[in-house]
Amino acid sequence: MSRDFDDIVAGLSNFDGHEAELTGPILETIPVTGVSIATLGELLGSETVSASDLQVARLDELQFDLNEGPCWDALAEMRPMLEPDVRMQPGGRWPAFSEALQTENVGAIFAFPMTVGTLRVGAVDLYNTDPGELSPLFVAQATELTAALSRYVLRRALRQAGSPDAEGTGHARRTIHQATGFVIAQLGVSADDAYLLLQGQAFAEGRSMSELAADIIEHRFRFVVDQNGIEELS
């Protein structure tokens, strides 16, 4: 993938502009009509963070209200849901959503799960007005862009929740720093991603980072990687 694409990914991961502009880099990269970025589920609730147009915002609302659709399945199964022709969707996987789509100007939907480690953050929905496949290259690029957005959206949620860093004391800072090293070794991720995973996991469990860090250091909690991605063992 090109250097320009790598710059786009880095820019999304560390995005500091207006959230209405979040979808722009995706539309510049992936040949789709519209894009939405939404949180889903118990961790952060269901909310559209950014939508490129009213139609894709409407798709989010339908899936929120009906509690079904490609974004929900993408997040539940932690893999992209690619529907090149939503009007011919076989098997009635989403009966209510499919029925609602009959009056919408949508031909194809591609949903990508936003996750950070074991944390299910939300989904990125791409749509086209006409039916058609998304090429393997664009699926790979959309997956990487979604990973960057996952980090941004989780950081955003932690800021809004006023999630404490739990680094007030020297001992807490040392414990968290040491646990971050453990996570880097366990998962092979960057220091920033390891810290974000610690912060998000502590937020999800309703406890401080230093408490989680102590459990990691004492081997009461650890992250592992298997064929399904990152899992937690405690």
pLDDT digits (tens, 9 = 90+) for 62-85: 999 999 999 999 999 999 999 999
State the Cα–Cα distance between residues 33 and 130, nearest whole angstrom: 9
Query: Any idea which residue has 């949903």 for tokens?
Result: 111
What is the per-residue pLDDT for 1?
47
Positions in the chain whose pLDDT score sits under 50: 1, 166
Phi, psi of 128 (to 5 degrees): -125, 145
Tell the residue number behind the tokens 């971050």, with chain if given: 180
Question: From residue 81, how far is each of 10, 17, 102, 142, 234 by CA, in Å?
Answer: 24, 29, 19, 12, 30
C-alpha–C-alpha distance, residues 69 and 60, integer Å:
9
Which letter does DSSP use for residue 189 in this model? -
| 25 and 11 Cβ atoms separated by less than 8 Å | yes
Give pLDDT, residue 171: 66
pTM of the full structure: 0.82
Residue ranges of domains in the chain, CATH in brackets = 3-160 (3.30.450.40), 170-233 (1.10.10.10)
* pLDDT tens column, 150-183: 999 998 888 877 655 545 556 677 888 788 888 8
Instruction: State the pLDDT at residue 204.
Output: 81
At 164 the pLDDT is 53
